[in-house]
Amino acid sequence: MTDKHLTAIRFDSFELDPRILAGLADAGFTRCTPIQSETLPIALAGRDVAGQAQTGTGKTAAFLLVVMQRLLNTPPPPPGQISHPRALILAPTRELAVQIHRDTLLLATHTGLRSGLVYGGTGYQQQRDDLDAGVDILIGTPGRLIDYLKQNVFDLQAIEVVVLDEADRMFDLGFIKDIRFLLRRMPPPESRLGMLFSATLSYRVTELAYEHMNRPQLVKIETDTITADRVSQCCYMTSNEEKIPLLLNLVRGWQDARIMVFVNTKREADRVWGYLQGNGINTAVLSGDVPQNKRLKLLRDFTEGNLPVLVGTDVAARGLHIPDVTHVVNYDLPEDPEDYVHRIGRTARAGAAGDAIGFVCETYAFCLPDIETFIGAKIPVFPVDPVLLAEVNPRSRLRPDREDREERRDGRRTRTLDSERTPRNAAGERTRREMRVELDRNLTSDRSSTIKPEAPIAAPSRMPPPSVDLPPALSMPPPRSIKIRPRYPVEQAALTSPPVFMPKQEPPPPVVVVLPAPAPDPDSVPDLVLSQMISEPVPKPRRRRNRRKPVGNETDDTVSNRMPESIEVDSVDQA
């Protein structure tokens, strides 16, 4: 790591409180980064700031120093019935809020300022009690902050400084209405200090800044490229089937590496984790449906180096400062070019160097031109050499235990079936998949025990009767008896086809055959009746005459002239 990202301006050159300078000395910070050197003079003078700089350039320390200096210069309000925070810092993700709180505790060690952390997913009552006890600096995500605000746990009437970190991400996650809800319940912009920071400032973010801030001054740290200067970027033109073998071979070739793999969906994250973990590479997944306690533990293990590979969605792409990340792999190219900048910004932080590799696959290849246009640079694209593809056994993929993912937002377990609530045994707790298999087996056995045929049913055959001698080519062994479900009859479609299960059909209605009466015996019939039977002929059935169609050049008039006279009379009467 080098100090080329630092300027010659020192922190002690600003009018900072000695207690703040003592915290900076404990953290090992002496010189400012470009965004810090441009932001501190403006914000310390009491003017609102909207800052844009590359990710990993110290934006968090820039606004924390201003917040602490502002609170130390003004006396705290008198205590009231509810908590009155004096500074509010909003973050789009829980992990970023936790990181900001950690940096605040480090820099505010000697100031005596109390900081509170509020985020969803865990610790509802504990966070509520800490907030109710009173804090000076409140850090959190919008959802749970609004929850506590509506319960009158705290109010925003004493806010002196408000900070929006990663403001463009607030728009992407749909938090803009929540942000406006909180800003309208604070003192007016003229009575507070507002700061807004992000790696990319879009028109939506600048509109929000000018609407809810007091004439903010825009600070942009211009560089030759939007991405970090010390990131080496390249892409591989690969098919969808080659992505897993290529990833396995690359990860195995990087020695002592700390790797972050980004995907676009949670399902694909589980799939990538299954192949990496199944092939002997210790990996974890960081996505939105992982419980919050587990997410924090995974980040801690990855930061400490106990976990070499972390597969994540864009939840892990914003604001997280994880030191010594050597490689970032865009397994799926992001559809938003700004997300590409934030993803590869996880490496080469604070002057370090890193590599960013992208897979240009069949599904997301259309994203590459937009990314190159956004960053203003051409990314080298290489073909995939067959030597780079590892041998992958399809059966090596592991399936994640969905029980760890199915958590409600309040941190409680989802409702499970009674058959799935099994105690722990000596071998450990069974997985949900195993219990479901056992449940299906029990249901199948119960169904088969209730309806069970007394004897196996022989499949009907269309073979000729045994009396017919068949040639040797057509001779077949007699059909064997098979056991089938009694609900469906079995019908064999052809001589060579297996029996096909056909749905049950109603039997055809009985055919009624009328037999002629037997001829009477002349000896048993009286003479008078017999004579009448012989003299009276049997009436024959009347045959219906068909109307002859016109032939040749006959017209309709000639045909009508040949119609019976009675038809003509009827037609006249009807007329």
What local confidence, expressed as pLDDT, does residue 23 receive?
A: 92
Residues 207 and 248 in one domain: no
Residues 110 and 255 in one domain: no
Residues 291 and 343 in one domain: yes
What local confidence, expressed as pLDDT, does residue 206 receive?
A: 81
The CB density around residue 45, as the number of other CB atoms within 10 Å, is 9
**Ranges of residues in the chain whose predicted pLDDT is under 70:** 1-5, 55-56, 222-229, 315-321, 348-352, 402-575
What local confidence, expressed as pLDDT, does residue 549 receive?
A: 59
Are 329 and 357 contacting, i.e. CB atoms less than 8 angstroms apart?
yes
Burial label, 123 (beta-carbon count in 10 A; 0-12, 13-18, 19+): middle
Q: Which two tokens stand for residue 109?
A: 């060690």
| Number of domains within the chain | 2
Of the candidates 198, 220, 242, which is a domain's last residue? 220
Residues 194 and 247 in one domain: no
CATH number at residue 135: 3.40.50.300
Of the candidates 220, 248, 280, which is a domain's last residue? 220
Residues 132 and 17 in one domain: yes
What local confidence, expressed as pLDDT, does residue 449 receive?
A: 45
pLDDT digits (tens, 9 = 90+) for 239-284: 999 999 999 999 999 988 889 999 998 899 999 999 999 999 999 9
CA 565 to chain CA centroid, nearest Å:
85
Alpha helices in 108-175, H assignment, sequence order = 124-132, 142-150, 167-172
Residues 249 and 366 in one domain: yes
Q: Which two tokens stand for residue 29?
A: 């910070």
Give me Rg for the CA atoms of the chain. 42
What local confidence, expressed as pLDDT, does residue 4 receive?
A: 60
Residues 331 and 247 in one domain: yes
What local confidence, expressed as pLDDT, does residue 507 receive?
A: 60
Inside any domain, residue 548: no
Separation of first and last alpha carbons in the chain: 111
What local confidence, expressed as pLDDT, does residue 384 receive?
A: 93
Residues 295 and 323 in one domain: yes
Inside any domain, residue 445: no
What local confidence, expressed as pLDDT, does residue 351 receive?
A: 57
What local confidence, expressed as pLDDT, does residue 402 receive?
A: 59
Residue 18 belongs to domain spanning = 11-220
Inside any domain, residue 249: yes
Inside any domain, residue 311: yes
Residues 286 and 307 in one domain: yes
> What is the pairing mode between strands 283-286 and 354-360?
unpaired
Residues 194 and 251 in one domain: no
